[in-house]
Amino acid sequence: MSGNGATGEEVPGGRQVRVEVFPDGEALSEAAAALVAAQATEAIRARGRFLWALAGGRTPTRTYARLAELPYREQIDWGRVEIFFGDERCVPPEDPLSNYRLAKEMLLSRVPLPMTQVHRLACESDPEEEAGRYEALLRLMFQGRPWGFDLALLGLGADGHTASLFPGLLPPANTWVAVVARPGESFRRLTLTPAVLNLSRLLVFLVTGRDKAPALRAVLTGEEAMAASPVHQLRPPAGEIRWLADQEAAALL
Ligand code: 6PG
């Protein structure tokens, strides 16, 4: 994967975190698509399946679209891919707010992936019940595996949130799927929690745009302002974290 160079940044605990910086969102999306394809190919070859948790929000839109195009559409054995969601707004699947809707429009409806292998967070009716169902599904799907997801894509909010994990609204430590009521929103959310995300083999953050620059710097350098960011709880003991940022988002690094 070619960036225009990586910037190493120290984070709390002294772990070296590598941020790969790309000239723009298009270059980042291309690199992210190549990364997904590489991870899928390796997982399918080694373990027969690729368990992938999608990121919500708008940032991954172009990455999803590229994966539905050549060469990636042909490179990935979509029949062996299991799709999950890092979080969802509890709205109908056709609602413009739905993370599922975006993923289906840009990718899932455009590749030969059986819809039985697309595990939507169907929380529009009963979020609490769906949280329990989804957690049971994940525990079943992870059985016998050396880790949980082979890959989880994540975004970063300007306030330092990721998935639907918001500073000050963090779920109980031992849950895998949590209901979140974000102040000011008319809908509730479901989110995967650090407990289950930390079982991943690889977490990849995709961050673009100048508005994310302060949060990216603060999170990566451990600034007090973002000390409560749930990103700091993401440390997969058997896995790796990678950051892909465009130059605008990396402007303050
Ligand atoms: C959500 C997302 C959220 C998102 C960030 C970045 O459902 O809101 O999962 O965590 O990834 O807010 O959003 P953008 O990519 O739209 O900037």
**Contact predicate 87/190, CB 8 Å:** yes
Going by pLDDT thresholds of 50, 70 and 90, the confidence category of residue 47 is very high
Structure confidence at residue 2 (pLDDT): 44
Whole-number Å distance, alpha carbon 57 to ligand 1 midpoint, is: 3
**Contact predicate 41/80, CB 8 Å:** no
Residue 221 vs residues 17, 19, 103, 226, 252: alpha-carbon distances, Å: 10, 12, 31, 9, 11
Cα 70 from chain centre: 23
Structure confidence at residue 12 (pLDDT): 45
Structure confidence at residue 110 (pLDDT): 98
Structure confidence at residue 18 (pLDDT): 76
Whole-number Å distance, alpha carbon 143 to ligand 1 midpoint, is: 29
Structure confidence at residue 170 (pLDDT): 86
Structure confidence at residue 14 (pLDDT): 43
Structure confidence at residue 6 (pLDDT): 56
> In the structure, which protein residues have their CB atom closer than 6 angstroms to any atom of ligand 1?
55-59, 86-87, 99, 155-157, 161-164
| DSSP3 helix / strand / coil % (the chain, rounded to 5) | 35, 20, 45
Cis, bond preceding 96 (omega within 30 deg of 0): no
Structure confidence at residue 16 (pLDDT): 58
Question: How confident is the model over 125-149, as pLDDT tens digits?
Answer: 999 999 999 999 999 999 999 999 9
Find all residues with CB under 8 Å of 217, minimum gap 6, and list them. Answer: 223, 252, 253
Question: How confident is the model over 10-40, as pLDDT tens digits?
Answer: 444 445 577 999 999 999 999 999 999 999 9
Half-sphere exposure of 1 (CA within 13 A, CB side): 22
Q: Once rounded to an integer, what is the mean pLDDT over residues 245-251?
A: 98
Q: Once rounded to an integer, what is the mean pLDDT over residues 181-206?
A: 97
Whole-number Å distance, alpha carbon 161 to ligand 1 midpoint, is: 8
Minimum-distance ligand 1 atom for the alpha carbon of 88 = 7
Structure confidence at residue 233 (pLDDT): 95
Structure confidence at residue 13 (pLDDT): 44
Whole-number Å distance, alpha carbon 114 to ligand 1 midpoint, is: 26
Structure confidence at residue 15 (pLDDT): 53
Structure confidence at residue 9 (pLDDT): 53
Q: Once rounded to an integer, what is the mean pLDDT over residues 79-86?
A: 98
Number of Cβ within 10 Å of residue 103's Cβ equals 21
Considering only 99-103, 187-191, 214-218, 225-229, which range has the smallest mean pLDDT? Answer: 225-229
